[in-house]
Amino acid sequence: MVQSPPAIVHRHKRLILVLVVLVILPLICIAAFPYLLSLTVPPDRLQVFEVTEQHAQNGTIVHLDEQNFQEHPVLEDVLLGSEHDRPGPPYAKGDLRRVGEVEYPEKITQTTIDRYIIDNTTGKRKYFEYTGRYYRVGTVYQD
């Protein structure tokens, strides 16, 4: 004797519920995992290094003024903040001296690299001049 579909569902209700849980729960986990993972990854950090003038001559020099600081908020935070005036350790190998570090509000993207690190027109590293000193930006990936 053939049973109607509602009768089959009623008879095997527990089995169907277990199968639904075994199929749908993993799909929800797979969909939610990337979002939940992104919440645990901290933003990247940008480091600012002071370099010698001779070192900066190998790249493109951007002279900073009030307008440029608005376009480069990381440099404004470090160079105009109180941290900048503290004496740092002497220049290390490669003529670099770490001046400061700022938590960047997003992951490092090509836009960040274009703004702070590489000049797209020349392909050279960007150096920033402010009050007679020269700086470059480096990245620290936190993930």
**pLDDT value at residue 143:** 46
**pLDDT value at residue 84:** 54
- Indicate the pTM of the whole model: 0.62
Q: How confident is the model at residue 93 (pLDDT cuts 50, 70, 90)?
A: low
**pLDDT value at residue 6:** 75
DSSP, collapsed to helix, strand or coil, labels residue 131 as coil
Q: How confident is the model at residue 1 (pLDDT cuts 50, 70, 90)?
A: low
DSSP, collapsed to helix, strand or coil, labels residue 123 as coil
**pLDDT value at residue 86:** 55
pLDDT per position as a tens digit, 65-91 = 888 788 887 788 788 775 555 566 666
| Residues in the chain, overall count | 143
d(CA 109, CA 94): 26
| The two three-digit tokens of residue 88, written as one number | 């740092």
**Range 22-37 burial, b when 16+ CB lie within 10 A, else e:** eeeeeeeeeeeeeeee
